[in-house]
Structure 1
Amino acid sequence: MASEFQTTPHDQIKATYDAVIVGSGGTGLTAAIQAHESGLDVAVFEKNVELGGNTNRASSGMNAAETNVQLHHGVIDNVADFYRETYKDGGKLNDKDMLGYFVYHSAPAISWLADHGIKLDDITVTGGMSKKRTHRPASMAPIGGFLVKSLLNVAAQQNIPVFNETKVDQLLQDATGRVNGIKLSLDGHSQEVKAKAVILATGGFGASKAYMKRYRPDLIDYKTTNQPGATGDGLELAEGVGAELMQMDLIQVHPTVQQDNPHVYLIGEAVRGEGAILVNAQGQRFVNELNTRKIVSNAITALPEQSAYLIFDQGIRDRVKAIEFYDKTGLVEHGDTIEALAQTLKMDPTVLKQTVSDWNQAVQDQNDEQFGRTTGMERDISQPGFFAIHIAPAIHYTMGGLHIDSKTHVLDGNGDVIEGLYAAGEVAGGLHGNNRVGGNSIAETIIFGRQAGLQVALWNSQK
């Protein structure tokens, strides 16, 4: 994916830029492109060898409402519903100004991507949403790698320098406290880079044992879906200049993660969105599979085994291309019939067959009497072959982070703007409340990545 992109050599790092962006995931690349297109001289700095951060691991899609793509698929939606459902799913702890900006700028974000040749022409549904809002490539490829590769192509076309293996150790400030650059560690030495503004796009802290111990010691032994670099670097950098952290205990556990091997694999919500069901070790359903991640995760954890199985057929598999990767990696169990699959899973074949039969009837009637599921019911589980993936909850997303406003300014403990410092994406808190809806993180990277780029350009123009 991102490895095909040629990073810029370290000897080309300039002493000064209009803006520097810390982090090369979806947020950072979007911010860099938007700022560059707004007339700024920018550079992206990434601590890891590989570019793309956690965005590389995203699989389902990007939520947006009132898009032309939805209309082409016969979906009539409105942003007010998008707002209400996200607010409800977030336990009504979402920052209302951020959420308002988010939902009303979701459709323009889809258009902005399309204007750059990045087309998300297919749609699916994720948990907590009443409509198909989750946009993805027509190929149904996982959204993350597709986005990173596409955004890097745009950055290359625009000659935006992207430096890897450049860890930012400190934010620089002038005598007034305004952030005016960064101090880098690279090639065994330190180097200062001055800038009129710094955008933090460093992602969350889902792979940080230190932050887990500090804020959620109950999760210290959980595995994580995050890439190893998601250690909260941006939080530490910003705290060093007086930034306020918020909602740091609000950490999302994703319900469907394959973790029987040393490597942890998130099984995207699109599998359930396209019709898969969850069953316990006995082969029985136990939850509305497309309830919020918090509710589904809690239901799985409440089972004696604290794990469950995703059950689906070839028809569903054809709608989620990521399953091909899961299968090649050895995560998928196979059966020519439901009974054969049950035997592989050491379940009573009659129980699993009855569960699938009941589900198929619910799909036919469009009435899930057992658990009240209303979405992801467009196809039943009847097309051979039949498949299962063993899953359990794992740390997935950190809703808390830096306190920012809807213009991506980073705020201090008094609620005042720290001049010259901006943040967007998972490093920032407030948007999601106590539960992030699937498909909203990728939307956040584009929407607030653009906003950060625009606000930095506006701020530069006023100086």
Structure 2
Amino acid sequence: MKKFLAILLAMTMLIGLVGCSNAKQTQGDKATTTAIKDGKYKGEGKGKGGAISVEVTIENDTITDIKVLNQKETPGYETAMNTLTKNIISTNSVDVDIVSGCTLTSKGFLEAVNAALTAAGAKADMLKKLQASGTTGTKKEVNENHDIVIIGAGGAGLSAAIEAKKAGADVIVLEKMPMAGGNTLISGAEYAAPNNWIQKKEGIKDSTDQFMKDILKGGDNKNNPELVKVVAENALAGAEWLRDEVGVIWEDQMMFFGGHSVKRSLIPLGANGKEIIRKQVAKAESLNIPILYNTTAKALFTDTKGKVVGVQAEGEDKNYTFNTKKAVIIASGGFGSNIEMRVKYDPKMDKNVLSTNTVGSTGDGIVMAEKIGAALEGMEYIQTYPICDPLTGTLLYFGDARMYGHTIMVNKEGKRFVEELERRDVISMAIKEQTGHVAYQILDQKGLEESNLEEHHGPEIDYLYKNKLLVKADTLEEAAKFFDINAKELKGSVDRYNGYVKAGKDLEFNKRSMPSTIEKGPFYILKAAPAVHHTMGGIKINTKAQAINKDGKVIEGLYAAGEVTGGIHGTNRLGSNALADITVFGRIAGQNAAK
């Protein structure tokens, strides 16, 4: 009996030890001990566009595969998830750097992968330690010849590439970010076009001359009238080209942007730049135009006569020398994310001012062009956008309700302080003068619905609620309490405004469009602040999009288009004029460079 009990005790102890040990995995005839049970595990994180769900495969304590099962991120941002997957698998670690320019997508993806590890009953330190199978540090030297090299795969660069390719040129596009789009991708991408088809349907009278006057007035007449005329006369054709040639879908309504004398701004499908960039990239691919991502242009080089004949660039594992037979087109955007450069030209735009721009907007093209003698114009004119996230500086699409005319803005004291359809710079500066340097945008349920905010920008609205930047309440008093706004004054401001709507005239600020009252609950209040949005200055160009040197002469072989240029918008760009500008001059640059 004693012998039996001893054997039983020994067996019990052995079972206990097995139960406490790591899982055993069998591989052929070998049995290996692992910390994590082999299998496929699912996890979910929250990205910029909503939920990101993944399936992670683990074998022998090693992540061997990551599949994205569901995501609604901005088109192009999936490249960040591809990069992260590559880095995680190569190191067998989730301790990897986020992808520049894709912070929220990166964080959401990594959150999902970590959630999958948790589902496996594992912690990150249970993965095998591996060294990344990287390069030796020596990059391959590559020398290529092309007719045209385009720096920047945003709206201007892609427009130029498509037109140049259609004209028969051999084109290549360099993009330093891991995705195409630049600021166009993250913008609302509304497009100002006089005499457009929706204006005609709605009986709105407009003209290129009227549009030109609005642009000049909006820029305090510091614009180059010749460049403004080119934009005004070709804006409609550019919008039709995007529609008919590129496949962009425009919605059947318009917005009324501040500073414009009439409603003329077209809205792309979904009311953001995804529609523009997705269709432009697809068109470029159909034309076999190569786009090199994660490839940064470093310098232009010229021949003995000063003609630009190529670009030096740096990729992830290659150094490039691109020789051009025809031209280089710079379409690399502005410098809104380069704090040092901002302060150089406007000391007020320091690190305390957030930015709506992508991290890639650092003025590289401007610097490169200046080094070979290009003249710069209007560098001191830096615009802020009034309705941005006070936490991050991100442009808030919820603010689009302002352009539909359905909102008023008040300060902490509950009082209106500016015309809601004034110029961006005027509204921004007015907000800066208010308590806390913030504004509160008020609208009702009817305004929310007629602005299509929930349909177009659901993930952003979820973010705003989560971060206590937006409140929904049955009464104005309840909504005001959430932000500690003076409820009595707010109610008075709304009542007076509703009276102005019914009378047809705003006696306080002469608001130019008042389509409806604010009286149908529930009510919504958005908290917002200004952030750097557009840099009006850049490379000086002529009407052919050719770069001009400091002596006023054309720099042969160099063209520029988009926010990298100066002179078009003067001191201030009116909302929705950027898309017209980049499309018109992007096309012109591509057509002329190909000649």
TM-score range, shorter chain: over 0.9
The residue identity in structure 1 corresponding to 2:588 is: Q
Contact 1:125 1:270 in 2 (8 A): no
Q: 1:262 to 1:372 in 2, by over 3 A?
A: closer
In structure 2, what is the equivalent of residue 102 of structure 1? 231
Deviates more, 1:393-402 or 1:357-366: 357-366
Cross-structure match for 2:332: 202
> How many Å separate the matches in 1 of 2:485 and 2:539?
47
Match of 1:156 among 285, 308, 322: 285
> Which of 502, 505, 513 matches 1:367?
505
Question: Which residue number corresponds to residue 283 of structure 1?
Answer: 414
From 41, 45, 60, give the equivalent of 2:174.
45
Match of 1:219, SS state, is coil
Query: How many angstroms apart in 2 are the aligned matches of 1:144 and 1:172?
Result: 33
AA in 2 matched with 1:285: R
Tell me which residue corresponds to 1:385.
522
Looking at structure 1, the residues matched to 429 and 366 of structure 2 have their Cα atoms a distance apart, in angstroms, of 28
Counterpart selection for 2:311 from 182, 201, 216 = 182
Tell me the equivalent position of 1:329. 463
The Cα shift of 1:302 comes to 1.7
- 3-state SS in 1 of match to 2:570: coil
Does the CA-based 8 Å contact 2:77-2:179 persist in structure 1?
Answer: no
Whole-angstrom distance in 2 between the partners of 1:4 and 1:349: 42
The answer on whether the counterparts of 1:342 and 1:349 sit within 8 Å (CA) in structure 2 is: yes
How far, CA to CA, are the matches of 2:398 and 2:537 in structure 1? 22
Structure with the greater relative contact order (CA < 8 A, sep ≥ 6): 1 or 2?
1
Q: Which residue of 1 aligns with 2:298?
A: 169
Per-residue CA distance 1:393-442 (angstroms, 9 max, x = gap): 11111001111111110011001011000001000000001011000011
Q: 1:74 Cα deviation (Å)? A: 2.7
- Distance change >3 Å, CA 342–CA 295, structure 1 → 2: same
Distance 1:389 1:81 in 2: 33
Partner of 1:408: 545
- Tell me if 1:213 matches 2:350: no
* Distance (whole Å) between structure 2 residues aligned to residue 256 and residue 171 of structure 1: 37
Q: Judge conservation of contact 1:126–1:269 (CA < 8 Å) in 2.
A: no
C-alpha separation in 2, matches of 1:403 and 1:6? 34
Superposed counterparts of 1:56-455, under 5 Å? 56-59=185-188, 61-116=190-245, 117-121=247-251, 122-137=253-268, 139=269, 141-195=270-324, 196-220=326-350, 221-259=352-390, 261-262=391-392, 264-267=394-397, 270-274=400-404, 275-318=406-449, 319-321=451-453, 322-330=456-464, 331-375=469-513, 377-455=514-592
Tell me how far apart the structure 2 counterparts of residues 440 and 84 of structure 1 sit (CA, whole Å). Answer: 13
Task: Give the 3 Å change call, closer, same or farther, for CA 106–293 of structure 1 in structure 2.
Answer: same
CA distance in 1, matches of 2:409, 2:397: 12
- Conserved? CA contact 1:21–1:199, under 8 Å: yes
For residues 48 and 147 of structure 1, the distance between their equivalents in structure 2, rounded to whole angstroms, comes to 18
CA contact (8 A) 1:201 1:427 kept: yes
1:268 positional shift: 6.5
Bigger mean CA deviation after superposition, 241-250 or 310-319: 310-319
User: Which structure 2 residue ranges, 5 or more long, are not aligned?
Assistant: 1-73, 81-138
In 2, Cα distance between equivalents of 1:310 and 1:6: 35
Query: What is the CA deviation profile of residues 112-165 of structure 1, one whole-angstrom value per residue up to 9, with x for unaligned ones?
Result: 11112213242111000121111013x4x2331221111112112222111100
**2:2 pairs with 1:2:** no
Seen in structure 2, the aligned counterparts of structure 1 residues 360 and 97 have a Cα distance that, compared at 3 Å, is same
Q: Provide the aligned C-alpha RMSD in A.
A: 2.0
Give the Å deviation of 1:93.
Answer: 0.4
Secondary structure, counterpart of 2:76 in structure 1 = helix
CA contact (8 A) 1:106 1:443 kept: yes
Give 1:97 shift.
0.4
Is this contact kept in 2: 1:223–1:394, CA < 8 A?
yes
Q: Which residue identity is paired with 1:364?
A: K
Maintained 8 Å contact 1:47/1:166: yes
Asked if structure 2 preserves the Cα contact closer than 8 Å seen for 1:60 and 1:134, the reply is: no
Counterpart amino acid of residue 479 in structure 2? L
Q: How many correspondences in the alignment? A: 451
Aligned amino acid, residue 299 of structure 1? A
After superposition, the Cα gap between the structure-2 partners of 1:102 and 1:4, relative to the gap in structure 1 and judged at 3 Å, is: same
CA distance in 2, matches of 1:332, 1:268: 10
How far, CA to CA, are the matches of 2:345 and 2:225 in structure 1? 24
SS for the counterpart of 2:534 is strand
Q: Which amino acid aligns with 1:367?
A: K
Normalised TM-score (structure 2) = 0.73
Q: What CA distance in whole angstroms lies between the structure 2 residues aligned with 1:446 and 1:327?
A: 30
Contact 1:40–1:457 under 8 Å retained in 2: yes
Partners of 2:307 and 2:472 in 1: CA distance: 59
Is the radius of gyration larger for structure 1 or structure 2?
2
1:20 corresponds to: 149
Taking structure 1 as reference, are residues 408 and 76 closer, same or farther at Cα in structure 2, changes over 3 Å only?
Answer: same
Report SS of the residue matched to 2:418: coil
Deviation at 1:236, TM superposition (A): 1.0
User: Counterparts of 1:355 and 1:160 in 2: how far apart (Å)?
Assistant: 55
Q: 1:31 to 1:45 in 2, by over 3 A?
A: same
Q: Which moved more, 1:246-255 or 1:411-420?
A: 246-255
Contact persistence 1:279–1:285 (CA under 8 A): yes
More off after superposition, 300-309 vs 200-209: 300-309
Q: Distance in 2 between matches of 1:279 and 1:131?
A: 24
Code of the aligned partner of 1:231: T
Q: Percent of counterpart pairs with the same letter?
A: 33
CA contact (8 A) 2:143 2:320 kept: no
Q: Distance in 1 between matches of 2:315 and 2:476?
A: 55
Amino acid at match of 1:165: N
Instruction: Specify the SS of the correspondent of 2:568.
Output: coil
**Counterpart amino acid of 2:147?**
D
